[in-house]
Amino acid sequence: MRKALSYILLFCLCLAGCAPSPEQMRAAETRIAGDIYATLTASVPTITLSPIPSLTPTITPFPTLTSRPNPQTSVKSQVLNLRDGPDVSYAVLQGLKNGDQLSILGQYQNCNWLKVSLQNGTIGWVYGNPSYVTLPENCLTIPDGTFRPLNGMLILDMRGGLGVNQINVDNGTDQDSVIVLINANNALMVAFYVRTKEQFILFGIPNGKVQVYFSTGKEWDGNQKKFLAGATYSLLDSQVNFTAAGGFGSERDVSLVSGLGSPTPSNEVTPDQFPLIK
C-alpha cells in the first residue's frame, strides 16, 4: 500500500514540475493501477472453510402400549352357576366347581354380579359374593359389564301406586329398546326393556297424560342405564292419555317399526333431551 501511495505522489509531482506526454501518462497510470491491485490482492486473508459435520437424526421410538390383563378370580364354593345375565332369572349356561379359574370382564351393582370368561372362552355371569368367588382387587377398578336385560324387565319403577291402564309395545326394530314413561308432572314414572322383534304389555299405569320416550341400541350398561353402542333417542309425537272408567282401564298400542311398516309417529331427540334414568 505504501508503494502505491509513492507512485501517486510521484505522479502528482510530475504534474506540478513538468508536463509529460500523453503516452507517458497512460503508461504511468497503468503501472500504478497494477501495483495497487497487486498490493490489495496480497492483503486479502485466505478463508479456509471447515466441512459441516454430517447430522444423523436420532429417532426415539414410542413406548409399546400393552393392554392391562383382566383380573382373575376363582370359585370358592363347591358349586356355582354361570348364567346368561346378572340375575337369577337368567338361564344357567353351565355349573362351575370349586377352584375353577375365571377372568373378570366386568361388574354390575357394585360387584354383586361379575361378568367372567372361562378358560374355554365361554362368557357369562356369576354371583360376586365373596363367599362364592375371590375378589382380587377393588371393585371400583373393574369396568361395567354390558348385558341384555330380559324382555319386559323393569329398569326403573317410580309409579308409587298402580292403576288399571296398560301400554302394549311392539318392538319391530333391529335393536333392543328401552321405553320410558313420563307423567304430567314431567317426572319419570317407569322404564322397561323390550327386546328386538318382541312384544311386551305393561300393566298398572295410573290415569293421566303420559309422554312416551324410547331408546334403541346395543351393549346395555345396567349401572349407567343406557346403551353404549348405536344408541338412538325418540319421543312419540303426541301424549298418551290413560283414563279408567267404571273399573275398566284403557290401553294404548305403541309400535316401533324399522323400514317398511306403520310405526307410531315419533321424532328423534338429542341424548340431553332424553330422560335420565336414575
Q: Residue 126's domain is classified under what CATH number?
A: 2.30.30.40
Query: Looking at the 3D structure of the chain, how many domains does it have?
Result: 3
The pLDDT score that the predictor gives to residue 138 is 87
Residue with cell 505522479: 11
Both 249 and 188 in a single domain? yes
Give a yes or no: residue 25 inside a domain.
yes
The pLDDT score that the predictor gives to residue 53 is 58
Helix axes 2-17, 22-43, angle to 10 degrees: 160
Reported as half-sphere exposure (CB side, CA atoms, 13 A), residue 241 has a value of: 3
Domain that holds residue 86: 72-146
Smallest CA-to-CA distance from 158 within 133, 132, 185 is with 185
Both 183 and 258 in a single domain? yes
Both 199 and 137 in a single domain? no
Both 158 and 142 in a single domain? no
Which of the listed residues 105, 120, 146 is the one where a domain comes to its end? 146
Q: Which residues of the chain have pLDDT under 50?
A: 1-18, 40, 44
CATH number for the domain including 183?
2.60.40.10
The pLDDT score that the predictor gives to residue 15 is 42
Give a yes or no: residue 273 inside a domain.
no
Both 242 and 170 in a single domain? yes
147 phi and psi angles, rounded to 5 deg:
-160, 175
The pLDDT score that the predictor gives to residue 192 is 98
The span from the CA of 103 to the CA of 118, in Å, is: 7
Which of the listed residues 146, 162, 195 is the one where a domain comes to its end? 146
Both 257 and 158 in a single domain? yes
